Amino acid sequence: MTILLNGDTTTLDARELTVRGVLAAKGWSFPLIIVQVNGTVIPRDSWDTAPVRDGDRMDALHLVSGG
Amino acid sequence: MNARIREQARSLLSARRVGLAGAGGLGSNCAAALARAGVGHLVLADFDRVSPDNLDRQFFFLEQVGRLKVDALAENLRRIDAGLDLTTLPERLDAQRAVAAFADCDVVVEALDDADAKAMLIEALLADRPGRPVVAASGIAGWGASGKLAVRKSGSLVVIGDENLGVDGSHPPMAPRVGAVACLQANEVLEILLGPMEEAGA
């Protein structure tokens, strides 16, 4: 499937993945990430079930401390 | 500048309400920029008190050490605009309280320190009201590397910073970079409230 991941066209070797599957495929293991799929926030406790499909837009935004 | 456009912008902003979660390096400086720009209503939430260490980057003064940040900030903002409508919440907001505290806000600025707290707040606000803008910050520590400060937009969420340098022993928070991100947050709030600016020559 091909998705728009953080603004970049990205092809992944699967027909469909979960949010956690996309993060794993990219090797992103930052402790704190906000994930949005098609502009809707996906809470952390839904990452194992929320699907990401061909044509979707997924953004992963990395949070670090400091304010 | 065209005085009419300035007055139109200030008139529009005077009717808007912006929430600030956190009144530290980001929140205090962002609030000052918003107050100067003419935003009429601000909701300020922070449980902390002003410490001497805060004065290296936060919008507070020596004689305010020991006071609640929201009270000291309200006082400073009223010295900029005596007519500001301010709501001060001297408390640590959990997800439920944050949603209630900022219910009437047109935009919420995430200006917390701790990464876990940032994530909790952002997820709670976006889940509660999809489409209501949240302007967050991530990666403000250290100095220099100005060009690494980015503005990333995803749906109604804006994240400003380098998304890399957290505050730690090697990367202290310092006034210029923290202040730059705080002002970029305020700048994004203005774009959300006023719409994109017409470009020169357009």
Reading the block at residue B33, the tokens are 């920029």
| CA distance to partner chain B, nearest, from residue A46 (Å) | 12
Q: Which residue has the tokens 């209503």?
A: B41
A61–chain B Cβ distance below 8 A for any pair: yes
Q: Distance between CA B68 and CA B91 in Å, rounded?
A: 10
Q: What residues of chain A lie within 8 A of the CB of B122, using their CB?
A: 34, 41, 63
pTM above 0.90, yes or no: yes
| Per-residue burial over B78-92, b = 16 or more CB atoms within 10 Å of its CB, e = otherwise | eeeeeebebbbbeee
- Cβ(B196)–Cβ(B171) under 8 Å? no
What pLDDT shows up at residue A17?
97
Could you give the CA distance from residue B76 to residue B26 in angstroms, rounded to a whole number?
Answer: 15
Task: Return phi, psi of residue B143, to 5°.
Answer: -140, 165
Judge: B155–A39 Cβ closer than 8 Å, yes or no.
yes
Q: Which of B141, B152, B154 sits opposite A66 (nearest CB)?
A: B141
Per-residue pLDDT of chain B (202 residues; tens, 9 = 90+): 578 999 999 999 999 999 999 999 999 999 999 999 999 999 999 999 999 999 999 999 999 999 999 999 999 999 999 999 999 999 999 999 999 999 999 999 999 999 999 999 999 999 999 999 999 999 999 999 999 999 999 999 999 999 999 999 899 999 999 999 999 999 999 999 999 988 887 5
CA distance B19 to B197: 23
Distance from CA of A13 to the nearest CA of B (A): 24
How many CB pairs below 8 Å do chains A and B form together?
97
Please give the domain boundaries of chain A with CATH numbers for all domains.
2-62 (3.10.20.30)
What pLDDT score was predicted for residue B198? 84
Contacts of B43 (CB under 8 A, 6+ apart): B17, B18, B19, B20, B86, B87, B89, B101, B102, B104, B105
Q: What is the pLDDT of residues A24-54, one digit of tens each?
A: 999 998 889 999 999 999 999 999 999 999 9
CA distances from B77 to B63, B82, B92 (A): 16, 8, 21
pLDDT of residue B132: 98
Contacts of B25 in chain A (CB under 8 A): 66-67
d(CA A5, CA A17): 13
Residue B28: alpha-carbon gap to chain centroid = 7
Cβ separation B127–A62 shorter than 8 A = no
DSSP-derived secondary structure letter, B49:
B
Determine the pLDDT at residue B1. Answer: 58
Do the chains contact at A39 and B156, CB–CB below 8 Å?
A: yes
Pick the closest to residue B127 from B156, B163, B93 (CA basis): B156
* Residue type at position B9: A
- In this prediction, the answer to ipTM > 0.90 reads yes
Which residue, B171, B42, B155, is CA-closest to B106?
A: B42
* Pick from B72, B188, B190: nearest CA to B136: B188
Instruction: Residue B183: count other Cβ atoms within 10 Å of its Cβ.
Output: 17
Q: List, as one string, the DSSP characters of B161-174.
A: E-SS---BTTB---
pLDDT tens readout for residues B29-38: 999 999 999 9
- CA atoms of A12 and A2, how far apart (whole Å): 6
